[in-house]
Structure 1
Amino acid sequence: MQGEGPSAGRRCAFVRLGGCNLSCRWCDTPYTWDWTGVGDTGVAHDPRRELTALPVSEVLERLLGYDVPLIVVSGGEPLSQQKRLIPLLRELTARGKAVEIETNGTVVPGREVIDLGVRFNVSPKLAHSGDPESRRLVPRALRAFAEVPGTAFKFVCRTPDDLEEVASVVERFGTRPVWIMPEGQVPADVGRHLAALGDAAVSRGWNLTTRLHVAVWGDRRGV
């Protein structure tokens, strides 16, 4: 189930890739990139256990076996491997599957990927992620995503003060439409942040999304 953003609640299957060019302290999938324990959990994950190389044919077979209309490619940062993704994306779209790519918005999307008609769910990171602005906000990439029809920009926030930072990013890079999503890996945190953000987000004319997968499964890892 897609838990966030414009497609929240839709049945889907996930492709989760390893490796990320950012190091968000509160990341809910540190096992895809945190090999040294720099995140809030302080746990150093082992890439030899977490990452598995698979041929496109096997990945495609597994995804089609779920018999769902939507495929979500996530990470890590999947666009760091976008050239290697093209054969899979081509096969999925040829079979009528809708495809969404979750990205942090720091890597410029290639024309081949754009032309396949995937939707980009771009999540530019704010200061509370812990990364410097020079790493987390790449003007050329954000403007490129803003030009792709159907792109959604999803900002992880905690308090109404964060919305001022979101407004600055939107003003500078044209990152619309905006979706505000509460940070949190357990239902209590998501609910608290959502309640704090709701009125302020709506008053700005922005969309609001919760995290349905957290409400249903908490912080339990999928399989």
Structure 2
Amino acid sequence: MALAGIDEEFELIVAECFGVEQPTFQGEGPSCGVPALFVRLSRCNLTCDWCDTKYTWDWTQFDPRKESKRRTVASLLAWALGSAVELVVITGGEPLLQQKKLIPLVRGLLAAGKRVEFETNGTIAPNRELLVDDIRFNVSPKLSNSGVAEAKRIVPAALETFAASGRAAFKFVTCTVAELDEIRALVDRYGLDPVWVVPEGTTPEGLIETTRTLADAVAIHRWHFTQRLHVLAFAEARGR
């Protein structure tokens, strides 16, 4: 399906798209539980130890020829516009690595009445053409528990841009109560608001344990607390 004004040669490197054939929800953050479509882009600039989408970047374990393919913006638009679901989540990997090519995709989605959320690690400042109504950013700065050096995972200029945009929520994957002090330091240093804490876990049992460990301390900080709904609902199934 060709769409007027969209260059058929404008391509993105995509890991997977889901939510049309088998409906699903946004699993975390401010829109947790909202029906959503997902465009998961391939490639990332970080290498987090606990990453649950290593098939988008870890070529020591996965074959990029099997785990990603190039898709035109027009084909992605046709796919998304074939569904009545309003929310489209663009995730990764790190989607802002391809943000210049994402601009025409986002424009097409917005023109059709969709809302867009980006899931980003907060190391790449958004293009100003993405700072528009009906686009939100779920920014997830990585903590030391990621195993990534601070100089690589914390980029002050990018975080400051997100904080000033008024279009970002800040989401932290957390394992222990002690890590809340690390979050507080980042929040205070860069003026990050609102804050969502996500318990780390890849199984329902692990999530429940971490949730109970963190709950009282997160409440004391008066931050939002969000679950990983997709893990609770669909276990380790990909494409959900």
TM-score bin, normalised by smaller chain = over 0.9
1:145 aligns with 2:169: no
Query: In the TM superposition, what is the alpha-carbon distance from 1:116 to its structure 2 partner?
Result: 5.3
Query: In the TM superposition, what is the alpha-carbon distance from 1:85 to its structure 2 partner?
Result: 0.3
1:32 aligns with 2:32: no
> 1: distance between equivalents of 2:174 and 2:144?
10
> 1: distance between equivalents of 2:84 and 2:55?
27
The TM-score with structure 2 as length reference comes to: 0.88
1:3 aligns with 2:27: yes
Q: Which residue of 2 aligns with 1:39?
A: none
1:90/1:116 contact within 8 Å kept: no
1:106 aligns with 2:123: yes
Q: Which residue of 2 aligns with 1:123?
A: 140
Query: In the TM superposition, what is the alpha-carbon distance from 1:88 to its structure 2 partner?
Result: 0.4
Give runs of ≥4 in structure 1 deviating > 4 Å.
none
Tell me the matched-pair count. 216
Query: In the TM superposition, what is the alpha-carbon distance from 1:150 to its structure 2 partner?
Result: 3.1
The TM-score with structure 1 as length reference comes to: 0.95
Equivalent position to 1:77, from 83, 94, 102: 94
1:77/1:104 contact within 8 Å kept: yes
Equivalent position to 2:215, from 198, 211, 220: 198
Query: In the TM superposition, what is the alpha-carbon distance from 1:65 to its structure 2 partner?
Result: 1.7
Query: In the TM superposition, what is the alpha-carbon distance from 1:117 to its structure 2 partner?
Result: 4.0
Please state whether the residue corresponding to 1:115 is helix, strand or coil.
coil
> 1: distance between equivalents of 2:193 and 2:238?
31
Query: In the TM superposition, what is the alpha-carbon distance from 1:185 to its structure 2 partner?
Result: 1.0
Please tell me the root mean square deviation across aligned C-alpha atoms, in Å. 1.0
Please state whether the residue corresponding to 2:183 is helix, strand or coil.
helix
Q: What do the CA deviations read for 1:19-56 (whole angstroms, capped 9, x no partner)? A: 000000100111011112xxxxxxx1000001110111
1:61 aligns with 2:85: no
Please state whether the residue corresponding to 1:125 is helix, strand or coil.
coil
Query: Match of 1:26, as an amino acid?
Result: W
Identity %: 51
Please state whether the residue corresponding to 2:37 is helix, strand or coil.
strand
Query: Match of 1:88, as an amino acid?
Result: L
> 2: distance between equivalents of 1:66 and 1:28?
27
Query: Match of 2:137, as an amino acid?
Result: F
Of 64-73 and 120-129, more deviation after overlay is shown by 64-73
2:139/2:170 contact within 8 Å kept: yes
Q: What do the CA deviations read for 1:99-139 (whole angstroms, capped 9, x no partner)? A: 00000000011101113541000000000100000000000
1:170 aligns with 2:181: no
1:3/1:213 contact within 8 Å kept: yes
- Judging by fraction of residues, say which structure has more strand: 2
> 2: distance between equivalents of 1:67 and 1:50?
27
Q: Which residue of 2 aligns with 1:221?
A: 238
In structure 2, the gaps of 5 or more residues are 1-24
Equivalent position to 1:21, from 24, 28, 45: 45
